[in-house]
Chain A
Amino acid sequence: MSTILADPPPPIDNTWAVPGIAIPATIAAAVAVYFVVRSVRDSVRTPDDFLIANRRIGPVQNAVALASAPLMYSTLFIITGHIALNGYDAAMLLTAFTTSMVLGVLLFASPIRNLGGYSLGDIFAMRAEERSARRAAAVVTLLIYGMFTIISLAAIAFIFNRWFGLDNVAGLGASVLVVGLVTVLYAYMAGMAGVTRLLVFKAILTLTVVLVLTLLVLAEFNLNIFDILDKAEANRKDVPAGYDLLGPGREFGEGQHRLVHLSKLFCVAVGVAAIPFLFMRNFATTSGKDARRSAGWASMIVVGIYMCMALVGFASVAVLGPERIGVIKAHRDISLPKLVDELGGPVMIGVLAPIALLTIVGVYAALLINAVTCVTKDLNVARGRKPGRADELKDIRRNTLRIGIGSVLVGVAMLPVRTHIFIPTSIDLAGTAILPAVVYALFWRRFNTAGLKWIVYGGTALLFFLVIFSNGVTGPEDAIFPGHDIKFVDIEPGLITVPAGFLLGWLGSISSKERDDAAFAEMQVRALTGGLAPGARKDAARAAAAAAAGGPGGQSPNGAGPNGRGPAPGGPDDHGNQTRTPSEAR
C-alpha cells in the first residue's frame, strides 16, 4: 500500500479496479470536456466574460451547475461509505448539507446577485472602507481557496488509488499533476462560461450515476426499500461505540461526546452556504430573480440526489456485508467502488472512474475562477494596483495560469500530508468570517469597517487557534502529526467560532464611531430591488457591468438581456473600463 495516502492499516487490497478500461475512458472524458469547454471559448472577449460569464448564465444552467457543487468527492464517495459504516448519524450529514442550501436560497442568492458585483470584496466594500474591505475579503477567500485546493488535489490521488488501482508515490504524484494541469487549461480557455459548462456536464453525469446505482440496488432488493434497510441492519459492522445502524448513536455516542457530531452537523449547516466559490456563482446569473430560482431548483435537485445517496449508502452494507465495506474512517471511500464492482462489474467500475475524477475537476475549476476573481477585483485594489485597460483580460488569463500551476505544484507536494482537516476547517472559516459579515452587511445599520475587521481577522485567528488544538492536527492516527498530542478541542471549532464571529462583529462595530446610514440604505435598497439610482458615481462600475449584461442603456444589474444572447460586442467593455477607473482610483 502506498505511503503517499498515509492510509492507516489494515492495507487495502484493491481487487476491483480495472485500469484497462478506466484509463481509455478517462482520456475520452477529458477530450469530451475539452470540446464542451471549447464550445464557449469564442464568447470570452472581455474580463467580464471571463470572470462572470458576462452575467449570461440562465436559471436552468445555473441551477444544474449549483447542484453539482454539493456532489463532490467528500459527499458522493466518503459520505456514502460513512453511511455504510456509521448509518443514521452519517446520513444526518446529508440533511446538514441540504439545510445549508436552504440558507443559500433564503439569504444569499437573490440579494447577492442584486448587488451585482464580482467578488466578496464588492459586498464588503459597500459597508466598509474600500481597501480594508477588499483586503479582508481577499484574505478569507484565498485561505479557503488554498485549503480546498489542497484537499481537492489530494482527492484526485485517492481516486487514482481507489478507482484505478494505482499505488506508487511517483505515479500518484504524476497523475495529480496531469489532472490538475488539464483542469487549469479548462479554466484558462473559457473562464466562468467554460467552468459552468463543465459543471453542468459533471452534474448530468453524476446525477445519472447516482440514479443508475439507485436503480441497481432497488432491483437487487426487488424495489423493496424496507428490505434494504433490514438487510443493512442485519449486516451492520459492529463498531466500538455499539448501537444499531438505523438509529442515532454510532457517531453521537454518549455524554459530552454527543456534542462532537452535533458540532459537525451545525458547522456544515451554517458554513457550506457561505463558501465563496459556491455562492459567487450567483454573480454570473442573468438576474436576482433567476439567481433565486436557480438556487431553489438546485436545492430540490440535491435533495433528490441525497435521498438516493442515503439509500445507496445503506445498500452498500446490505449488499457487501460487514467485512467488505470500508471498516475504518480513512477507508470509507472504498465502499462505493466495491458496491459498483459487485453490482455492475468491471465495465461499470472503469466507466465510473473518469466521472469520479470529474467531480473533483469541477470543484477545482470553480475554485480557480473564484481565486482569479478575488485576485483581480480584491487583491489588486487592496494593494493599490489598477489593471491596465487593454491588457486586463490578458492579465487575468496570466493570473489563471500562475495561480493554477502554482497551486497544482503545492497540491502535489502536500500529497504525503494528511490534510483531510482542511475540509471542515474551510467550512468553519466560511461560517465564521463570511456568514456574520454578510448578514450584518445586509441587515444591520450600525455595521462598519471595524466590525468587518474584527469578524474576519478575529474570527480567523480564533478558528486557527482552536484548529491547531483539535483532532485533525495532533492526536488521532489520521491527524497531520499523529505522533504528538496537544489537542484539547474535541468538537468542531466552528460551533464556537461561528457565534464568536457574530459577537466579534457586534463588538467591533460598536467600538468604532464610524456609521454610514446612506451606505446602509443603499445596501438594503439594492439588495432587495436590484436597482441602481441614476447618477450614483460610486456605482458606475456596476452600472457598466449591467450595461454589458443587459445591453446598451441597461441601467441595472437586473436588467438582464435575454438568455443565450450572443457574445457582447466590444462597446460595453470599453465603456465599462472607462467608468470603472474613477471608482477604483478612490
Chain B
Amino acid sequence: MSSTDSPAGGDRYVAVHGSAGFKTLQRKTNSFLIRASVLFFGWWFIGTSLAAFAPGFFRQEIAGPVNVGLLFMFLTFVVVVTVCASYLRYAANRLDPLTDQVRAELEGEPR
C-alpha cells in the first residue's frame, strides 16, 4: 500500500487531489453533507434527548390525542424525506457536472 506501487496512477491522483476543480467539488460536497448532517442528526438527537429527559414537554397536548412528541415524530419523517430529496437534487444539479469535469481530468490521456 504505497505510492511506489503504481507510480503513474498514484501521481495522477495526487495531482487531481490538489487541483482547483477537485478542491471546489470537495468543498461543495462536504459543506452540503456537513450542513445536512448537523441539521438532521442534530434535530433527531435533540428530539430523542427531549423525549428521554424532558418528557413533560413532549407530553403537552396540541390537538386531540396529538402531543408535541407525536408531532416531533411526524416531522422527523418529513425531514428525512426533505433531506434525502434536497441532497439528490443538489447532487444532480450542482455536484454531478463538477464531478464529470474532474473525472475527465483524471481519466484523460497522460500528458
A160 to chain B, nearest CB (A): 33
Chain B residue with minimal CB distance to A259?
B52
A536 touches B52 (CB 8 A): no
> Which A residues touch B84, using CB under 8 A?
102, 105, 296-297, 299-300
Residues in B whose Cβ lies below 8 Å from that of A387: none
Q: Is A518 close to B, CB under 8 A?
A: yes
Using Cβ atoms and an 8 Å threshold, which residues of chain B touch A529? Answer: 22, 25, 99, 102-103, 106
Q: Is A485 an interface residue (CB 8 A)?
A: no
Distance A258 CA – B106 CA, assembled complex (angstroms): 52
State the CA gap A140–B87 with chains docked (Å).
30
Q: Chain B nearest CB: distance from A77 CB in Å? A: 20
Q: Which of B6, B63, B70 has the most CB of A within 10 A?
A: B6
Whether B73 sits at the interface, judged by CB under 8 Å, is: yes
Are B77 and A258 in contact, with the CB atoms below 8 A? no
Q: Which residues of B contact A229 (CB under 8 A)?
A: 64-66, 70
Chain A 254-268 residues near chain B, CB threshold 8 A: 258-259, 261-262, 265-266
**Is A60 an interface residue when CB atoms closer than 8 A count as contact?**
no
- Chain A residues within 8 Å of B77, by CB: 95, 98, 303, 306-307
B60 to A: closest C-beta gap in Å: 9
Q: 0/1 per residue, A155-179, Cβ < 8 Å to B?
A: 0000000000000000000000000
- B1-18 near A? 1/0 per residue, CB < 8 Å: 111011011111110111
B88 within 8 A of A: yes
B17 pairs with A524, CB closer than 8 A:
yes
Asked whether, in the complex, the Cβ of A248 is within 8 Å of the Cβ of B59, the reply is: yes
Give the number of chain A interface residues (Cβ < 8 Å). Answer: 76
A248 in contact with B13 (CB, 8 Å): no
Q: Which of B28-87 contact A (CB under 8 A)?
A: 29, 33, 36-37, 40-41, 44, 47-49, 51-53, 55, 58-59, 63-67, 69-70, 73-74, 76-77, 80-81, 83-85, 87
Q: In the complex, which residues of chain B have a beta carbon less than 8 angstroms from the beta carbon of A249?
A: 55, 59
Name which residue of chain A comes closest to B91, CB basis: A292
Q: Could you count the A-B residue pairs with CB atoms below 8 Å apart for me: how many are there?
A: 212
* Nearest CB of A to B90, in Å: 11
Given contacts A92-B48, A249-B55, A296-B85, contact A226 B70 (CB under 8 A): no
B76 in contact with A532 (CB, 8 Å): no
Contact residue among B2, B9, B63 (Cβ-Cβ distance under 8 Å from A535): B9
Interface string of B98-111 (1 = CB under 8 A from A): 01001100111110
> Do B55 and A252 touch across chains, with their CB atoms under 8 A apart?
yes
Evaluate contact between B110 and A519: CB separation under 8 angstroms.
no
A267 shortest CB reach to chain B, Å: 12
B81 touches A303 (CB 8 A): yes
| Cα distance A258–B50 in the bound complex, in angstroms | 11
* B95 CB, min distance to chain A CBs, angstroms: 9
Answer yes or no: A1 CB below 8 A from chain B CBs.
no
Interface residues of A in 449-508 (CB under 8 A from B): 449
CB atoms of B1 and A128 under 8 A apart: yes
The answer to whether A518 and B3 have CB atoms under 8 Å apart is yes
Asked if B65 contacts A230 (CB within 8 A), the reply is yes
* Of B2, B3, B69, B80, the contact of A299 (CB 8 Å cutoff): B80
Q: Which residues of B contact A306 (CB under 8 A)?
A: 77
**Separation in Å of the B40 CB from the closest CB of chain A?**
6
Please give, as numbers and ranges, the residues of chain B lying within 8 Å of A143 by CB-CB distance.
none
A106: nearest chain-B partner, CB-CB: B33
Tell me whether B103 and A556 are in contact (CB under 8 A).
yes
Interchain CB contact under 8 A, B40 and A102: yes
Shortest C-beta distance, B56 to chain A (Å), equals: 9
B102 touches A258 (CB 8 A): no
Distance to closest chain A CB from B101 (angstroms): 9
B residues in contact with A128, CB < 8 Å: 1
Bound Cα distance from A299 to B51, whole angstroms: 24
State which of A125, A248, A259, A556 has its C-beta within 8 Å of the C-beta of B55.
A248
> Given A299-B84, A537-B9, does the pair A269, B44 have CB atoms closer than 8 Å?
yes
Set of chain B residues within 8 Å of A534, measured between Cβ atoms: 8-9, 12, 107-110
> Contacting A258 at CB < 8 Å: which of B12, B13, B53, B103?
B53
* Shortest 8 CB-CB contacts between residues of A and residues of B: A536-B9, A518-B3, A521-B17, A533-B12, A229-B65, A531-B103, A247-B59, A535-B8
List A residues at the B interface (Cβ < 8 Å): 88-89, 91-92, 95-96, 98-99, 101-103, 105-107, 110, 125-130, 226, 229-230, 233, 244, 246-249, 252, 258-259, 261-262, 265-266, 269, 289, 292-293, 296-297, 299-300, 303, 306-307, 310, 449, 516-522, 524-526, 528-539, 555-556, 558, 586
